[in-house]
Amino acid sequence: MVKVNRPHIGIFGKMNVGKSSLINALTGQEVSVVAAHPGTTTDPVKKIIEILGIGPVTLVDTAGIDDSSALGAQRVRRTNEALDQVDLAILVFADDFNSYDQSLMETCVALRVPYFLVHNKSDLHKLNVEIKGADVVDFSCKDPRLPRLLDMIKKHLPKSSYSADVLLDDYVQSGDEVVLVIPIDASAPEGRLILPQVQTIRNLLDIGAVAVCLKDGELREYLQTHTPKLVITDSQAFGYVSSVVPPNIPLTSFSILFSRLKGDFGAYLKGTRTIDKLQDGDKVLILESCSHSVNKCDDIGRTKIPNWLQKYTGKKLQFTVVANLDSLPDDAETYKLAIQCGGCMVTRTQIMRRLNILKEKGVSLSNYGLAIAYCNGIFDRVTEIFRKQDQ
């Protein structure tokens, strides 16, 4: 099993029902502002906790949004956006369950967000309404009994949001040797490995395989005396690495491995071939799911991939970048192709929600690693070990 994600759990409900207090009870810390007067939490506050049996999760505190002022309308929009980005919603209410709480439940159903209800402040009043079709936990932040709440989180949080059964498990066996090519150049983060590399090493250790880590410059010499089961490289070194690894040794990349876990791999395999059909003036959407300050992704998505695509196709293409989880363009259906990044900063749920919208609009899908492989003419080679299972 691989921990692919830190699932996001959002706390929603009217002002003053005890959302921030609930987060404090869960974390045992004063992380969110708790105030006796309504409307203090205006921006989502995030806090990470470790839940036994799940691992780390991110709790997202949200504003109470039952007033009708302009600011309130803005808050409604923000809360709905926040709801669309969580793996589980905890809907908190206190003394009265009203139409607003009902509408939160309906939004969860519409957006297919798993949820359960917390009747808070049960020290002050008993639950006196019957809520059909939902689990309700009685709770009091003044006397927090966490086990029932944690059990309910475990019951409703989809397993796929925090673990995946397959990274290399279906291909690599105990005792196999796998070479990981990790270029240490200007675009590598200083003094550390990136998450996909770390998780791949952990997965190989779990399998009982031997992980050999080396830089691209050391690969040629190493392969003179070794025949590994598989070589996994950073996509940016594809050109060089594919020329050095003999054809009898399978080759793939970290980003392709993770696109199986964090994206829609079947759609990517099909959609990437759209690159061959691109014409002058066609629009390509780059989905860069992390902040602008992460220069590495910035550079790949905004400069390198556009250059590679134009060079490979020989066409003049139009590129639009959507960063973070910002909204898709209004005219999304006019794009021929959308290329999603590896998504190491976001959850699978967040990526899939976006991809599904584009899929419905008929936009072909690809991801950074697969598009780069395609432009390097090695797409078939680097997807071969997965194609039988996933297509």
Ligand X SMILES: Nc1nc2c(ncn2[C@@H]2O[C@H](COP(=O)(O)OP(=O)(O)O)[C@@H](O)[C@H]2O)c(=O)[nH]1
Q: How far is the CB of 68 from ligand X (least distance, A)?
A: 17
Rounded-to-integer distance, Cα 286 and Cα 117, Å = 37
20 lies in the binding site for Mg ion (CB under 5 A):
yes
Which candidate, 195, 148, 163, 137, places its Cα nearest to that of 54?
Answer: 163
Q: Which is nearer to ligand X, 124 or 184 (CB)?
A: 124
Instruction: Pick the stretch among 40-48, 197-205, 275-283, 321-329 that binds Mg ion (CB under 5 A).
Output: 40-48
Please say which residue, 72 or 250, places its beta carbon nearer to ligand X.
72
Query: Minimal CB distance to ligand X: which residue?
Result: 18
Question: Minimal distance in Å, beta carbon 49 to ligand X?
Answer: 16
**Shortest Å, Cβ 144 to ligand X:** 8
How many chain residues are in contact with Mg ion, going by CB under 5 A?
Answer: 3
Q: Which residues pair with 231 in a beta bridge?
A: 179, 251
Residue 137: CB atoms within 10 A of its CB come to 19
Q: Does 41 bind Mg ion (CB under 5 A)?
A: yes
User: Does 367 sit near Mg ion (CB under 5 A)?
Assistant: no
Near ligand X by CB under 6 A: residue from 77, 112, 125, 142: 142
Q: Which does 364 bind (CB under 5 to 8 A by kind): ligand X, Mg ion, none?
A: none
Q: Which stretch binds ligand X (CB under 6 A): 34-42, 247-255, 277-285, 336-344?
A: 34-42
Stretch that binds Mg ion, among 12-20, 241-249, 262-270, 320-328 (CB under 5 A): 12-20
> Minimum distance from CB of 62 to ligand X (Å)?
9
Spatial CA neighbour of 265 closest among 378, 352, 199, 162? 352
H/E element holding 214? strand 210-214
Cα 65 to Cα 14, 42, 58: the distances in Å are 6, 9, 21
Instruction: Name which position in 8, 10, 12, 21 contacts ligand X (CB under 6 A).
Output: 21
Indicate the SS3 state at residue 51.
Answer: strand
Q: Which is nearer to Mg ion, 72 or 250 (CB)?
A: 72
Q: Which DSSP symbol is given to 4?
A: -
| Contacted by 16, from Mg ion, ligand X, none: CB < 5 to 8 Å by type | ligand X
Kindly tell me the burial class for residue 249, based on how many C-beta atoms sit within 10 Å of its own C-beta (0-12, 13-18, 19 or more): middle
> Is residue 356 classed as helix, strand or coil in its secondary structure?
helix
Strand, coil or helix: what is 289?
coil
Query: Kindly report the CA angle at 85 between 82 and 87, in degrees rounded to 5?
Result: 120
Q: Which of 64, 228, 342, 369 binds ligand X (CB under 6 A)?
A: 64
200, interface contact from Mg ion, ligand X, none, CB < 5-8 Å by kind: none
Shortest spacing between CB 170 and ligand X, in angstroms: 45
Name the one range near ligand X by CB under 6 A: 13-21, 75-83, 212-220, 373-381: 13-21
Kindly tell me which residue out of 18, 196, 271, 369 binds ligand X, with binding defined by CB under 6 A.
18
Residue 213: helix, strand or coil by DSSP?
strand
CB crowding 275-301: b at 16 or more within 10 Å, else e: beebeeebbbbbbbbbeeebeebbebb
Nearer to ligand X, 41 or 340 (CB): 41
* Distance, CA of 346 to CA of 358 (rounded, Å): 18
CA distance 257 to 167: 7
Q: How many amino acids of this chain bind ligand X (CB under 6 A)?
A: 20
Determine the Cα–Cα distance for residues 294 and 46; give it in Å rounded to an integer.
20
142 vs 315, beta carbon nearer ligand X? 142
Tell me which residues in 69-128 interact with ligand X (CB under 6 A). 120-121, 123-124
Residues in contact with ligand X by CB under 6 A are 13, 15-21, 34-36, 41, 64, 120-121, 123-124, 140-142
